[in-house]
A and B are shown apart, each in its own frame.
Chain A
């Protein structure tokens, strides 16, 4: 089954304890992206990757790191989590970047989400 898999789905942690949220897709997608979703603020882009070893900042990259060493994986790293990073996180991927006009190639497939609470 074509899917984007995120882990963990739920996590409660404490301030300053490094954590990694993994994201893996099995569709050979070039483009991957991380979003956080907060009430009243919608989905905000954290980081994105156009391909292996190519990553760039989105709207809210502070406090996060990413890497794209393999095409299928795009982990989100919180080096020193803080309470303002409590949020619902989504990983998403598409065959091509969002700006493309080839129908279907730039449609995002989302993971199930990871709810993170930082105390």
Chain B
């Protein structure tokens, strides 16, 4: 089992819809979780970080964390074509400081 798994894409939604991106992780001790966005040909950039169970909202983005289920998700409300990108889930390994695992990413396309 991979350390971090993301739902396989690509994911395609119409403009204005809610896009739901999912990520599961294997390390029960992980304490921090990150969503990065990567546009084609560009480097990843942080969208959200979340450290405690529940929801964290930032504008149109909501991160949801459920440590019991080892599950973290990212919801994008009112999706825009500019949201079209690959979304990467990242989870640090709890037992080895410095190790950080990324999922393979989910490619999202928002069509007008």
The answer to whether B34 touches A107, judged by C-beta atoms less than 8 angstroms apart, is yes
Interface residue A16 (Cβ < 8 Å from any Cβ of B): no
Instruction: Classify chain A's interface size.
Output: 20 to 34
The answer to whether B49 touches A103, judged by C-beta atoms less than 8 angstroms apart, is yes
Interface residue A8 (Cβ < 8 Å from any Cβ of B): no
The answer to whether A43 touches B88, judged by C-beta atoms less than 8 angstroms apart, is yes
A-B contact pairs, 26 of them (CB 8 A): A31-B98, A33-B98, A35-B102, A42-B88, A43-B44, A44-B102, A45-B100, A45-B101, A48-B99, A59-B101, A97-B92, A97-B98, A98-B90, A98-B92, A99-B31, A100-B32, A101-B31, A101-B51, A103-B49, A106-B32, A106-B49, A106-B92, A108-B46, A108-B100, A110-B44, A113-B42
**Bound form: Cα–Cα A2–B101 in Å:** 24
The answer to whether A98 touches B43, judged by C-beta atoms less than 8 angstroms apart, is no
The answer to whether B51 touches A45, judged by C-beta atoms less than 8 angstroms apart, is no
A98 in complex: contacting residue of B45, B88, B98, B105, CB < 8 Å: B98
B: residues with CB less than 8 A from A are: 31-32, 34, 36, 42-46, 49, 51, 88, 90, 92-94, 97-105
Interface residue A12 (Cβ < 8 Å from any Cβ of B): no
Q: How far is the CB of A64 from chain B (nearest CB, A)?
A: 16
Q: Write out the residue numbers on chain A whose beta carbons fall within 8 Å of the beta carbon of B44.
A: 43, 90, 108, 110
- A82-108: CB near B (< 8 Å → 1, else 0) gives 000000001000000111110110111
Q: Write out the residue numbers on chain A whose beta carbons fall within 8 Å of the beta carbon of B103.
A: 42
